[in-house]
Amino acid sequence: MEFWNDYLRWIVGTVLVFTAVPYFTALIASWLGHVSKGMLVNNLGPNSQLVVGGLGVAIHESGHALFAIIFGHKVTKIQLLNFHYAQNGTLGSVEHSWRENNIYQRLGNFFIGLAPYYMCSIALYLLQKFLLGTTFDFSGVLQSTDIAQFTSLSKLATSVFDNFMTIFANASWGMIIFYLVLLIMISSTGYDLSDEDFNTVKKGLLPWGTVLLLLSTLAVMFGWQIQLLNWMSVMIVFSVLFLVQALIYILVSLVVIRILSLVIHV
C-alpha cells in the first residue's frame, strides 16, 4: 500500500509541475499582457498595436512557428505582421498541421501554444545581455532555492526584481533608452496569448500528460526519483523566474504607454 501511495504522489506531482505550473504562469502573464494591449489601443489607437507593438507580435508568432517546426508540424503559413488586421482581427498568424497518430506532434501543441510567453522573455533577456552587458545568475538561483519553502520562492521573485533594478547600472544612457524602447515594443503585445493559443495548448495536454505518466512510472520503478525531483525543481524555479520577469516587463510597458498617452493628449 505504501508503494502505491508513493507512486500516486509522484505521478500527481510530476503531472502538476510540468502541466499546471507552466499553464497557469503563462495564463497570469497573458492576462496582464491582454490588459497592456487593451491600454495600448485605448490610449494610442488601434494602429499602435503594429507601430508600437509590432515587434512583440512578430516575436509572438515566431515562437509559435519555431516550436511548430521543432515538434515536426507542417507549417503552411507564417504571417508575422498583418497590416490588414482590421479585416479579420488577427495581428499575425501561424498555420500548421500535424498527424493525429503521432504522439510527439500531438503533445507539441502544448508547447506551441505557450511558446510566445517564453520567447518574449528570452528575447528581452538576450537584449539585456547584449545591450546592457548584464546577466542573471540562473545557476546560483537554482542552487539556493528550495521549492518546498514558500519563503525561498518569494526570495527568488525578489531576486528577479532586484536584477531588473540594477541592470542599468553600467550601461550608457543611449543603450538604456534603446533597451527600454525595445522592451515596450515587445512586452506591450507579445505576452498576450489568445483563446486560440490556449485551445492549442489543450490539444496537447492529454498526450503530454500521458508521456509524463510514463516517465514518472519509470522514475519510480528504476529509483530515479532524485533526478525527477531535480527536474521538477528546475521547472518551478524557471516558471517563477519567467512569470516575475514577464510581469515586471508588462507593468513597465503599462506605465510608459500611459505616460505617452498623457503627453500626446496634452
Q: What is the pLDDT of residues 21-39, one digit of tens each?
A: 999 999 999 999 999 998 9
pLDDT (0 to 100) of residue 227: 84
* Residue 75 scores a pLDDT above 90: yes
Q: Could you tell me the three cell numbers for 163? A: 536584477
Burial class (CB in 10 A: 0-12, 13-18, 19+), 209: middle
pLDDT (0 to 100) of residue 150: 47
How much is the CA Rg of the chain, to the nearest whole Å? 20
Over residues 75-86, the mean pLDDT reads 87
pLDDT (0 to 100) of residue 125: 86
H or E element in which residue 76 lies: strand 74-79
Q: Could you tell me the three cell numbers for 199? A: 485551445
**Cβ-based neighbours of 9, under 8 Å, separated by 6 or more:** none
- What's the CA gap between 44 and 49, in Å, rounded? 9
Q: Which of 2-11, 83-92, 116-125 has the lowest mean pLDDT?
A: 2-11
Q: Which of 21-30, 36-45, 221-230 has the lowest mean pLDDT?
A: 221-230
Average confidence score pLDDT of the chain: 85
pLDDT (0 to 100) of residue 118: 92
pLDDT (0 to 100) of residue 141: 58
Q: How many CB atoms lie within 10 A of CB 43?
A: 17
Q: Could you tell me the three cell numbers for 101? A: 497518430
- What's the CA gap between 19 and 239, in Å, rounded? 11
pLDDT (0 to 100) of residue 143: 59
- What's the CA gap between 23 and 136, in Å, rounded? 24
**Cβ-based neighbours of 5, under 8 Å, separated by 6 or more:** none
* Confidence category of residue 166, pLDDT binned at 50, 70, 90: confident
Model pTM score: 0.88
Over residues 71-95, the mean pLDDT reads 87
Q: How large a percentage of the chain has pLDDT more than 90?
A: 41
Over residues 52-59, the mean pLDDT reads 92
Q: Which of 42-46, 186-190, 207-211 has the lowest mean pLDDT?
A: 42-46
Q: How large a percentage of the chain has pLDDT more than 70?
A: 86
- What's the CA gap between 264 and 266, in Å, rounded? 6
- What's the CA gap between 239 and 18, in Å, rounded? 10
- What's the CA gap between 221 and 242, in Å, rounded? 33
Q: Could you tell me the three cell numbers for 244? A: 516575475
* Confidence category of residue 205, pLDDT binned at 50, 70, 90: very high
pLDDT (0 to 100) of residue 84: 82
* Contact call for residues 136 and 125 (beta carbons, < 8 A): yes
Single-letter residue type at 39: M
Q: What is the pLDDT of residues 106-165, one digit of tens each?
A: 999 999 999 999 999 899 888 888 888 776 655 655 555 555 554 555 666 676 666 666
pLDDT (0 to 100) of residue 140: 59
**Cβ-based neighbours of 109, under 8 Å, separated by 6 or more:** 71, 98, 200, 201, 203, 204
